[in-house]
């Protein structure tokens, strides 16, 4: 295998692993910010700052590129991404950061199905055993006392996973005609606008003077790393591999979330949960191997 080919296969793995580390710390830190700011206003501030930062570097070039394509080529990717973060942040205020991280791994199962209507792609049965294995690992992570227990927050996260799988497929479709920076800017802009509208409707006005310094620090971290860098890493990965492969690689996120939630919030996993984490890691390695064999064939 030529070095350039090997590098192209390895880069998406590196991008998504780095994104998983960033998002893993993002969920527990977001719950800390909620001590002095409501979820939707936190999301509005986060993505408004992210928009200012990202537009300063890529805004002009992105605007010129987007003028040359149809809105239908990029709006679905932006709207679906916005729904993911709005639902996810609402759920974070209703359930544990650990549960949110675990359930958000379900796109590994949903993404290949979303690719059928959105990308007109046939489902590759060779990935089914690995995906079922990952689903089993997620079950072990979420089960408590031998049964799966879901509260209202968990159900909202489940809905956000459907949006996440759709977002991956729409982003992959957009990236066929648009560069990663432009798609990222669309997703950040859509999330900022939709979060603001939802915050005004459901949370009314917010007093910024009541936001504590710790919450402001979290907002800055989320804007720079989770929003700007996280979106960019995902879109760069999607330019090199499929949405289904990215979804499976993102199952590493709950493990990172577990570690961060333990360090920051004191949330802990039992033995069964740790077994589930091990199953997910094995499935990630297996999917990388299967994808490599498929590409070689």
Distance CA 240, CA 172 (A): 10
Among 44-53, 91-100, 155-164, top mean pLDDT goes to 44-53
In this prediction, residue 94 has a pLDDT band, given cuts at 50, 70 and 90, of confident
Q: What is the DSSP string of the chain?
A: --HHHHHHHHHHHHHHHHHHHHHHHHHHHHHHHTTTS-HHHHHHHHHHHHHHHHHHHHHHHHHHHHHTS-GGGTHHHHHHHHHHHHHHHHHHTTS-HHHHHHHTTTHHHHHHHHHHHHH-----GGGHHHHHHHHHHHHHHHEETTEE---HHHHHHHHHHHHHHHHHHHHHHHTTTS-HHHHHHHHHHHHHHHHHHHHHHHT----GGGS-HHHHHHHHHIIIIIIIIHHHHHHHHHTTS-HHHHHHHGGGHHHHHHHHHHHHH-----HHHHHHHHHHHHHHHHHHHHHHHHHH-
In this prediction, residue 204 has a pLDDT band, given cuts at 50, 70 and 90, of confident
Query: What phi and psi values does residue 205 have, to the nearest 5 degrees?
Result: -80, 155
- Let me know the angle formed at the C-alpha of 275 by 270 and 279, rounded to the nearest 5 degrees: 150
Place of tokens 């799988």: 165
The residue ranking higher by pLDDT, 130 or 289, is 130
Average pLDDT over residues 88-109: 79
> What local confidence, expressed as pLDDT, does residue 128 receive?
82
In this prediction, residue 216 has a pLDDT band, given cuts at 50, 70 and 90, of very high
Mean pLDDT (the chain) is 84
In this prediction, residue 3 has a pLDDT band, given cuts at 50, 70 and 90, of low
In this prediction, residue 46 has a pLDDT band, given cuts at 50, 70 and 90, of very high
> What local confidence, expressed as pLDDT, does residue 170 receive?
94
Distance CA 267, CA 189 (A): 33
- On the question of pLDDT at 25 being above 70, the answer is yes
Model confidence, pTM:
0.81
Average pLDDT over residues 59-77: 92
Q: Provide the percentage of residues in the chain whose pLDDT is more than 70.
A: 90
Give me the sign of the Cα torsion angle 192, 194, 197, 202.
negative
- On the question of pLDDT at 159 being above 70, the answer is yes
Checking phi first, is residue 146 left (phi over 0); if not, alpha (psi -120 to 50) or beta? left
> What local confidence, expressed as pLDDT, does residue 150 receive?
63
Average pLDDT over residues 140-144: 69
Partners of 147 in beta bridges: 144
Average pLDDT over residues 160-171: 92
Instruction: Judge contact between 236 and 18, C-beta under 8 A.
Output: no
> What local confidence, expressed as pLDDT, does residue 119 receive?
87
Tokens of 224: 């720079």
> What local confidence, expressed as pLDDT, does residue 197 receive?
95
Average pLDDT over residues 62-77: 92
> What local confidence, expressed as pLDDT, does residue 49 receive?
95
- On the question of pLDDT at 1 being above 60, the answer is no
Q: Provide the percentage of residues in the chain whose pLDDT is more than 90.
A: 36
Burial class (CB in 10 A: 0-12, 13-18, 19+), 160: buried
The residue ranking higher by pLDDT, 237 or 270, is 237
In this prediction, residue 177 has a pLDDT band, given cuts at 50, 70 and 90, of confident
């Amino acid at each position: 295998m030529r070095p350039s080919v090997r590098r192209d296969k390895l880069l998406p793995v590196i991008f998504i692993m780095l994104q998983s580390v960033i998002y893993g710390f993002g969920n527990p830190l977001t719950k800390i910010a909620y001590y002095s700011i409501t979820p939707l206003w936190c999301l509005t501030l986060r993505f408004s700052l992210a928009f200012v930062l990202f537009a300063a570097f890529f805004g002009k070039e992105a605007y010129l590129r987007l003028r040359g394509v149809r809105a239908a080529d990029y709006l679905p990717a932006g709207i679906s991404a916005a729904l993911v973060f709005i639902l996810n942040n609402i759920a974070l205020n209703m359930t544990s950061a650990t549960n949110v991280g675990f359930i958000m791994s379900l796109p590994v199962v949903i993404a290949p199905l979303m690719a059928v209507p959105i990308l007109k792609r046939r489902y590759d049965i060779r990935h089914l055993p690995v995906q079922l294995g990952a689903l089993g690992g997620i079950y072990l992570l979420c089960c408590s006392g031998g049964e799966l227990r879901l509260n209202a927050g968990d159900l909202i996260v489940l809905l956000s996973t459907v949006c996440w799988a759709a977002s991956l497929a729409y982003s992959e479709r957009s990236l066929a005609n648009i560069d990663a920076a432009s798609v990222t800017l669309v997703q950040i802009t859509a999330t900022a606008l939709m979060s603001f509208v939802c915050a005004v409707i459901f949370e009314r006005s917010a007093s910024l003077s009541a936001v504590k310094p710790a919450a402001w620090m979290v907002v800055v971290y989320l804007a720079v790393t989770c929003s700007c860098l996280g979106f960019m890493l995902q879109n760069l990965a999607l330019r090199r591999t499929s949405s289904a492969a990215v979804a499976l690689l993102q199952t590493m996120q709950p493990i990172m979330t577990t570690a961060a939630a333990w360090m920051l919030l004191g949330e802990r996993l039992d033995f069964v949960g740790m077994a589930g984490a091990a199953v997910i890691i094995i499935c990630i390695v297996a999917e990388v191997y299967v994808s490599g064999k498929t590409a070689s064939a």
